[in-house]
Chain A
């Protein structure tokens, strides 16, 4: 099992550094360019949600992104210390209904769930929020 971590300030200008960090590791792990792009997008969406909702665009906070790899699994843990997050409060949108009525919000969560094999949350109220995204190497 190997691990590596990137800590960034809570600013959207840092999303490019996160995508680069993820892309290099995912490529090394053996994913195709297409899969690498999808994993990087899912992590971008997770970080964007934190910057927007957990930290309300306050740049004086940080986000930690840790990649762990083991047995064909590429797992990214994204942690913040912002506002408590209730994942159950964000339903996966019905995209047909969403688009017919031009809704907004929830699209990032929809993409994360569509692009990754697993999306899990570990919430410790007042202490830390963690979202874990996992993608398995195709056999």
Chain B
């Protein structure tokens, strides 16, 4: 099960498991992002390279206009995947917000 919602303040909330079966669902939300945006990972249990790819693609597009994603509240497993893929080099990751 995967869910992606956008709060009134623009924060994107991810939950469940973000694998290759969820690319279209997630892309439909992320492609509408045009400003610096917070992404809350609090309830996300799993992410594969498919999910990482969407985040990287969004970050690339935003960076052209000086904006970026702020990734928050990752569980350890998800944080480990970011570290192993070295994605923590290009994303601002905040803990326990």
> A residues within 8 Å of B by Cβ?
11-13, 15-16, 19, 34, 37-38, 41, 44-45, 48, 51-52, 95-96, 99-100, 102, 104, 107-108, 110-111, 114-115
Binding site for A on B (CB under 8 A): 17, 19-21, 23, 46, 48-50, 52-53, 56-57, 59-60, 63, 76-77, 80-81, 84-87, 89-90
Q: Is the CB of B89 within 8 A of A41?
A: no
Total CB contacts across the A-B interface at under 8 A: 71
Contact partners of B76 in chain A: CB under 8 A: 34
Whether the pair A99, B87 counts as a contact (CB closer than 8 A) is yes
Query: A99's contact among B20, B46, B89, by CB below 8 Å, is which?
Result: B89
Contact status B20-A107, CB under 8 Å: no
Name the residue on A nearest B50 (C-beta).
Answer: A48
**B20 and A16 within 8 A (CB):** no
**In the bound complex, do residue A48 and residue B19 qualify as a contact, i.e. CB atoms below 8 Å apart?**
yes
Measured in the bound complex, the distance between the Cα atoms of B57 and A8 in whole Å is 30
Interface secondary structure of B, over-half rule: helix
> Once bound together, how far apart are the Cα atoms of A44 and B51, in whole Å?
12
B85 contact from A100, A104, A110, Cβ within 8 A = A110
Closest B residue to A16 by CB, please name it.
B17
Closest CB-CB distance, A53 to chain B, in whole Å?
A: 12
Chain B residues with Cβ below 8 Å from A34 are 76-77, 80
Measured between beta carbons, the chain A residues less than 8 angstroms from B52 are 107
Supply 6 A–B pairs (Cβ within 8 Å), ascending by A. A15-B21, A48-B49, A99-B87, A99-B89, A102-B59, A104-B56
